[in-house]
Amino acid sequence: MVDLAVIGAGLSGCALVAALQRRGWKGSILLLEAGRGPGGRCATRRRREDDRWRLDHGSPTLSFTQAPQGELNDLIAGLQGSDVIRPDDAPVVGVDHLGRQVPSPDHLLLSGPRWRGTPTMATVAEALLAHGGEAVEARFGERITTLRHDGSVWHLTGGHHARALVLSGTLLAHPRSLAMLGWQHVPLREAVAVGFDPQLDAALHQIAGLDASVRWNLMLELPKVSSNHLPRQIWLTAQAQERFGVERLVLHPQQDQRLGLVVHGLDDGAVITPDSQPELLRRHEQQLMEALSDLVQPWSALSNALAQARSLGVMRWGAAQPLHQGLSADLQWCSEARVGFCGDWIAGQGFGMAEGALQSALNLAERIACFSIAET
Ligand SMILES: Cc1cc2nc3c(=O)[nH]c(=O)nc-3n(C[C@H](O)[C@H](O)[C@H](O)COP(=O)(O)OP(=O)(O)OC[C@H]3O[C@@H](n4cnc5c(N)ncnc54)[C@H](O)[C@@H]3O)c2cc1C
């Protein structure tokens, strides 16, 4: 039995355990992650047969709407001081619907300061997790599919038991999982009877109304390309996004001058189920490959290298970016059921981006630290 189980080792889950440690929280923590390592949507794709290859296939950067303040500033300054992140001032440009280079379009993700993980984005979550200290046991490759609450203890897939629980993603709490994963029930709703914790009832009601966009990210390996004059991100204008179904291209130069290229493909609304997914992956790969030659025209080095591009497949980000509204911050901690939420889908500054994910973790750590789980 642990004091706290945290599901998800993305930015917010890892920042939460680091923040609890900084606050001197004494409880034991079990961090459970479905993926092979920490990072979540700020993870890095590696290849077994090629240990020099690294590709930031989700978020290429930590975006902020404004210079971080207070505890968030301390966190960023600490990561920068230990060279886990560096300011991301690499050029960002735009491309229009006729394939012409233009200034980068306005976008919230480009509106304020940005930082990059060094050498890769996954380093950020790895470093935060290391700050969690010895009280944290992290387990990877464990997808939690069932939750049970007996009135005081949480019981999770894999025989894990905890006095309190935090979900850093919406998977176990949102009806979208039913179609996507073929589940019969929303696990968190099933675990706690309606009325046991009115805060949780209100939170689940809000979560059911949340929406998120899907991304189909095509990952490519290009041969050695001189990347000196190449931008880091190429954003499509609204008209170009409409025409090509692509949000942006992200370039990831490798140590040996090969180039990683991620094409962030937009969703076309097709229903994703375990049965439809293989065909959808094939279709998006083909469409994104076809769009590329128009989109890289202004950069001859890229255009020339495209003929030798090798596809490393498409990654589907099921809830790439939360849309419209988030879970109210006052419902982040439901005290009766001892369940909390963090992630970029919590309403507030930096909603839908790295800033919001980190801030939500700091806010939740404050609530949990005040609530002494071990004593109750
Ligand atoms: C393609 C893409 C581009 C983006 N670009 C930018 C950008 O330019 N700038 C920016 O600031 N942000 C960007 N973002 C958003 C940014 O990546 C997120 O805001 C941030 O990574 C969210 O962190 P998180 O911890 O909230 O969630 P996540 O990273 O999603 O972490 C949740 C973790 O929980 C795990 N998990 C969920 N359910 C379970 C379960 N049942 N069992 C076990 N594990 C589970 C998941 O595997 C995941 O690792 C982008 C995102 C995507 C997908």
CATH at 130: 3.50.50.60
Q: Evaluate whether residue 26 is within a structural domain.
A: yes
Domain containing residue 256: 90-116+213-320
Ligand 1 geometric centre to CA of 264 (Å): 15
**Nearest of 309, 289, 305 to residue 227 by alpha carbon:** 305
Q: Evaluate whether residue 57 is within a structural domain.
A: no
Q: What is the pLDDT of residues 304-330, one digit of tens each?
A: 999 999 999 999 998 888 998 899 999
Q: What is the pLDDT of residues 333-368, one digit of tens each?
A: 999 999 999 999 999 999 999 999 999 999 999 999
Ligand 1 geometric centre to CA of 10 (Å): 6
Average pLDDT of the segment spanning 235-240: 98
Is the predicted pLDDT of residue 376 greater than 60, yes or no? Answer: no
Ligand 1 geometric centre to CA of 33 (Å): 12
Exposure string for 235-259, b = 16+ CB within 10 A, e = fewer = bbbeebbebbbbbbbbbbbbeeebb
Evaluate: CB of 264 within 6 angstroms of ligand 1. Answer: yes
Q: Torsion angle of alpha carbons 184, 187, 191, 195, nearest 10°?
A: -90
Axis-axis angle for helices 11-22, 122-131 (nearest 10): 30
Ligand 1 geometric centre to CA of 215 (Å): 12
CATH of residue 103's domain is 3.90.660
Evaluate: CB of 8 within 6 angstroms of ligand 1. Answer: yes
140 lies in the same domain as 195: yes
Evaluate: CB of 218 within 6 angstroms of ligand 1. Answer: no
360 lies in the same domain as 255: no
Total domain count, the chain: 2
Q: What is the pLDDT of residues 64-88, one digit of tens each?
A: 999 999 999 999 999 999 999 999 9
pLDDT at 320: 84
Q: Evaluate whether residue 52 is within a structural domain.
A: no
Question: Which residue in this structure is represented by tokens 């200034």?
Answer: 103
193 lies in the same domain as 217: no
Q: What is the pLDDT of residues 168-185, one digit of tens each?
A: 999 999 987 776 667 778
